Structure 1
Amino acid sequence: MEYVGRVPGPPLDRFIDDIYCLTGVPRHRRMNIPPMPSAHLFVNLGGPVRLWDSDPAVPSAVLTDGWFMGVWTRRFLVEHPTWVRLVGVHFKPWGMSAFIGMPASELRDRWVPVDAVWQRSVDRIQNQVGDIASPAETLCVLEQELRSRLAEEPPRGLDLVRHTGRRLETSHGALPVGALAGAVGVSGNHLATQFKSHVGVTPKRVARIYRFSRLILSVDASRPVDWSELAQAAGYFDHAHFSREFKDFTGHTPTEYLTLRRRFPAEQGFPPDAGPMPAD
C-alpha cells in the first residue's frame, strides 16, 4: 500500500500529528494494533473494514463509510479489504476534543460512525474526494473539512491538557504526574478530570502509552535486542510489570513480538509506527 501523509498547517498542527491517504493492496489484511498515543478519524473510500476489540465480550463491527476512534488503552484488530482506499487523521491524544463537541471519554476504546459525531459529513467528504486521483488534492479536501470543524474557542480545560500533554509527549511519559500537576498549579484530581474529558483517560494512562510507544519504536529487529536495557531506558524498572504490560498491549511476549518483527519487517515508506503486526 502507498501511504502519503503530511502535517496540516496552523492551527491544526496543534491538535493533529498528520493527515494521510492510504491506497492499494494491503501486504497483510489482518493487523493487530497496540495502544498508541493518538486518536483517529477514518473516511473509507474502499471496501468494508472489520474491527475486533481484544475484549472478547465486545462484538466485532463492519464499517463502510467512516469512523472516529478515541484513544485506545488495549489492542484491537483490523481487517482491511482486498483493495484499500481511505483518508485518515492521526490526532494528538487531546486533539480530537477541539473538533467533536463531546467528551472524549465517550470515544475511549470505541469506534463510532463519523455521522454519529459529525452529522451528514461523510457523504460530502466522499463526494468531494471520490473522483480525485491526487493524494495531495485529497488531503486538501480533508484539511478544509477539519478547519471548518475546529472550535472557534478551545473547550474549557483543553489548553491545560494540551500543555501538560505536550510535556508527557516530550518526556516519553517519564514525567511524574504529581510533578506535572504541581508545575501548572492544579491538583492531581483536577488534572485527571480534565484529561478524562479531553483525552478520555487519565494522565497516568497517557504516560503509560507514551512509555510503551517509546519502547516499541526503539526496537531494532535487525540487531540483537536487550529487552532489559530497552525497558529500563523507557522507564520500566520492574521486569515483571514490563512483561505483563507488553503482553497486554501486543498479545505477545517480547520474544514472540521480536520474531514477528523479523519475519514481517515494516514496509518502507510508512510512518515510523512499528507497533502494528500481522494478526495471522
Structure 2
Amino acid sequence: MDYQTYEPNIDLKSLISCYWTLEVPKQPEPQKQRIVPDGCIEMAFILGDDIKRYTSENEFILQPRAMVLGQTMEPFYIEPTGFVKTFAIRFYPYGIANFISEPISNLANKETPINKLFEKETEDNLTQKIIQAENTKQRIGIIERFLIERINNKKTIDKIVKSTVDSLLSTNGSASINSILKENLSKRRQLERNFKKQIGVSPKQLGKVIRLQTALKMLLDPKSKKLTKIAYESEYFDQAHFVKDFKEFTGINPKDFINHDNLALSALFYK
C-alpha cells in the first residue's frame, strides 16, 4: 500500500488537516478492511476501481466515486473490487462547514455524493478536473482553488464550538466539557446544539474519538508500551475503561489490533 499525505495551502491550514492519496495494486483475493473512526470529515475521489462499503455482514453498496464521508462513531468495512487509487481531503472537525450549507449532522455515519452538496454543474466540473489531472500536485491545486472560492465569509463557526474542538485536540480528547466552558457553564446546552449542527456529533463523542486516536498511535508505535501504560498516558480512568472504548470504536480488543489483517488500512492511516 502506498499512502502519502500533503500539507494544505496556508489559507486553508486552519480548516484542512491534510490531503492524502492511497494506491493499492489489485489483489488476487480482495480482503475486507475495517475502518476506524478518526474524528475527521473527508472528501474523497475514487480514481481507481469501485470500492464496496458493507452495510451488513454480506450486503454492500458501492461507494460514490466523489463523496464526503461524515463523522463516524463506529467501525465499518470496505473492500476494493480491483486497483485502489484515491485522492482525499481530510478536514478538521469544524472545517467542512465553511464550504457547504447542508447541516453537518446530516452527513454523519454515511457517504454523501458531492453532487448532493454542490450544484450539479459545479460538481461535474470539479470531478472531471480531478479525474483528468495528471498528478497529485495538480489535484491539490484544483481542489484548493475550488475551496478558496467557496469559503463562506458570512457563515463563521460558532466561537465556542471552535474553542471546544481546539481544547479537545490540544488535550488529546481528555478535557471535560465543564473544564472547557469554565465560567460559561450556562452555555452548555447551546454548545451541544451548535456542536451537533456544525460538527455532526456531540462534544463528548468527539472527545472519545480523539482520545482513542492518541491511544492507537501509541499502540502502533514499534516501541509499543503495555496497555496499562497506554491507558494511563491517554488519560483513561483505568485499563478496563480503555479496552471498553477501544472495542466500541474498533470492534476489536487492543491486543488483537496490531496484527489483524483487516485493520491494515486503518493502521496505515494512524501511523
- TM-score category of the 2 structures, normalised to the smaller one: 0.7 to 0.9
Q: d(CA) in 1 for partners of 2:58 and 2:14?
A: 33
Change (3 A) 1:246 1:77: same
Shift of 1:183: 5.4
In 2, are the aligned partners of 1:74 and 1:249 still within 8 Å (CA)?
A: yes
What SS does the corresponding residue of 1:212 show, helix, strand or coil?
A: helix
**Hey, which of these two has a bigger chunk of helix by percent?**
2
In 1, are the aligned partners of 2:3 and 2:20 still within 8 Å (CA)?
A: yes
Q: d(CA) in 2 for partners of 1:265 and 1:18?
A: 17
Matched-pair identity in % = 19
Q: d(CA) in 2 for partners of 1:58 and 1:184?
A: 48
Shift of 1:260: 2.6
Q: d(CA) in 2 for partners of 1:228 and 1:130?
A: 47
Shift of 1:22: 2.7
- 1:211-259, CA deviations, whole angstroms, 9 ceiling, x for partnerless residues? 1000001114544641011011101113333222211211211221134
Contiguous gaps of at least 5 residues in structure 2 = none
Q: d(CA) in 2 for partners of 1:156 and 1:135?
A: 30
Q: Which structure 2 residues correspond to residues 45-60 of structure 1 after superposition, within 5 A? A: 45-53=47-55, 56=56, 60=60
Change (3 A) 1:239 1:21: closer
Q: Which residue of 1 aligns with 2:227?
A: 227
Q: Which residue of 2 aligns with 1:207?
A: 207
Q: Which residue of 2 aligns with 1:39?
A: 41
In 2, are the aligned partners of 1:45 and 1:126 still within 8 Å (CA)?
A: no
Q: d(CA) in 2 for partners of 1:258 and 1:22?
A: 20
Shift of 1:116: 0.9
In 1, are the aligned partners of 2:98 and 2:157 still within 8 Å (CA)?
A: no
What SS does the corresponding residue of 2:129 show, helix, strand or coil?
A: helix
Shift of 1:24: 4.3
In 2, are the aligned partners of 1:29 and 1:82 still within 8 Å (CA)?
A: no
Q: Which residue of 2 aligns with 1:278?
A: none
Shift of 1:184: 5.7
What SS does the corresponding residue of 1:174 show, helix, strand or coil?
A: coil
Q: Which residue of 2 aligns with 1:277?
A: none
Q: Which residue of 1 aligns with 2:166?
A: 166
Q: Which residue of 1 aligns with 2:113?
A: 113
What SS does the corresponding residue of 1:166 show, helix, strand or coil?
A: helix
In 2, are the aligned partners of 1:37 and 1:206 still within 8 Å (CA)?
A: yes
- 1:62-88, CA deviations, whole angstroms, 9 ceiling, x for partnerless residues? 124211111111111122232122221
In 1, are the aligned partners of 2:220 and 2:258 still within 8 Å (CA)?
A: no
Letter in 2 for 1:103: P
Shift of 1:93: 1.1
Contiguous gaps of at least 5 residues in structure 1 = 275-280
CA RMSD of aligned residues (A): 2.7
In 2, are the aligned partners of 1:17 and 1:91 still within 8 Å (CA)?
A: yes
Q: d(CA) in 2 for partners of 1:148 and 1:87?
A: 20
In 1, are the aligned partners of 2:34 and 2:266 still within 8 Å (CA)?
A: no
Letter in 1 for 2:124: D
Q: d(CA) in 2 for partners of 1:168 and 1:177?
A: 9
In 1, are the aligned partners of 2:34 and 2:265 still within 8 Å (CA)?
A: no
